[in-house]
Structure 1
Amino acid sequence: MPITPEHVGRRYPPAPPYVVSHAKIAEFARAICDDNPAYFGSTPIAPPTFAAVIAAQAWDALFGDEELGLALNRTMHGDQGFVFRGPLRPGDAVVATLSIEKVRNRGNLDMVTILVDLTVDDETVCEARSTLMHTTGEADA
């Protein structure tokens, strides 16, 4: 059964905790060419888009759900947004939990909006929302 609006509300088990480190923050900041001093030194914070690294780990549950019929090689990341309640810091053990918020089916295109709730000590620090565009492959037939 392919993904349908009936799957809205489905929530997956949390991904294993991701422990934020000084090294990963600095590595990410260098990768995005951002030399903001807030991302370096003895008490850095993570760049805001660092949350995408952690949120993406929760996607494994979505693509591993055989009932949905989603394939990563037929998926394009169409939109991304974040709502922050605080910065990520070294030592934070971040737990990412994915849920399906919206599904629209148009011909052989599925538009799926997902929400990944990032928590530290059971408190939400960030909500990462993405819209994925997935082709079913039926047009190839």
Structure 2
Amino acid sequence: MSRMSEFAGRSGAEYTMAVERGKIREFAAAVGSDHPAYFGDEPVSPPTFLASNAFWTTDGSDPWGDQGPDLSRVLHAGQRYVFHGPPPRAGAVLQCRQRIDRVYTKQGRRGGALEFADIVTEYRDADGELVAESIATLVVTEQAPQ
């Protein structure tokens, strides 16, 4: 198995994500939504818009650094969002930080061990208030797929 448990609690560097009106509109169109809240003068971001934070990451923001798990064995097992108020609107500037929150192991049904990691990304406003969190669950299989 990998050494993922050694990384539990590790955080990456903070980075900035600007919530842009045009990007909100593009995201809504890409997911097939025509809800007017995403297309007005001050649109609110769709709940899953925060996934686009990947375009804003910088060197050092990945909590794994260059020592992450073997990507040929990584599966994305889940994603959820927790909002501590309304979703961000266009014009918001969010400070983001990712951390490896929890690592645990389960036995797979086909004989191999599965190692799970919950990666939490916090999104804070200009006042440092927590706006939202995304929690991604990754699974690393014991063996690479055949």
Structure 2 length-normalised TM: 0.79
- Per the alignment, residue 61 of structure 1 pairs with 62
Contact map agreement 1:77 1:131 (CA 8 A) in 2: yes
Between 1:84-93 and 1:48-57, the stretch displaced more is 48-57
Q: Indicate conservation of the 8 Å contact 2:100/2:117, yes or no.
A: yes
Residue 53 (structure 1) shift:
1.4
CA gap of 1:63–1:101, structure 2 versus 1, over 3 A, is closer
Q: Percent identity?
A: 34
Q: CA RMSD in A?
A: 2.6
- Name the residue aligned to 1:123: 129
Moved more, 90-99 or 50-59: 50-59
Count of matched residue positions in the alignment of Structure 1 and Structure 2: 137
Length-normalised TM-score, structure 1: 0.81
Q: Distance in 2 between matches of 1:76 and 1:57?
A: 22
Code of the residue aligned with 2:42 in structure 1: it is T
- The residue type equivalent to 2:65 in the other structure is G
Deviations 1:84-126 (A, max 9, x none): 0221111111222111111123555321111110112121111
* Cα distance in structure 1, aligned partners of 2:91 and 2:82: 21
Shift of 1:139: 8.2
What pairs with 1:40-119 in structure 2 (closer than 5 Å)?
Answer: 40-54=39-53, 61-66=62-67, 69-85=68-84, 86-106=86-106, 107=112, 109-119=114-124
Amino acid aligned to 1:132: L
Q: Counterpart of 1:64 in 2: which secondary structure?
A: coil
CA distance in 2, matches of 1:105, 1:58: 28
User: Following the alignment from structure 1 to structure 2, what is the Cα–Cα distance between the partners of residues 23 and 56?
Assistant: 15
- Whether 2:21 is the aligned partner of 1:22: answer yes
Q: Distance in 2 between matches of 1:56 and 1:110?
A: 27
Deviation, structure 1 residue 138? 6.7
Residues 125/74 of structure 1: CA separation in 2 closer, same or farther (3 Å cut): same
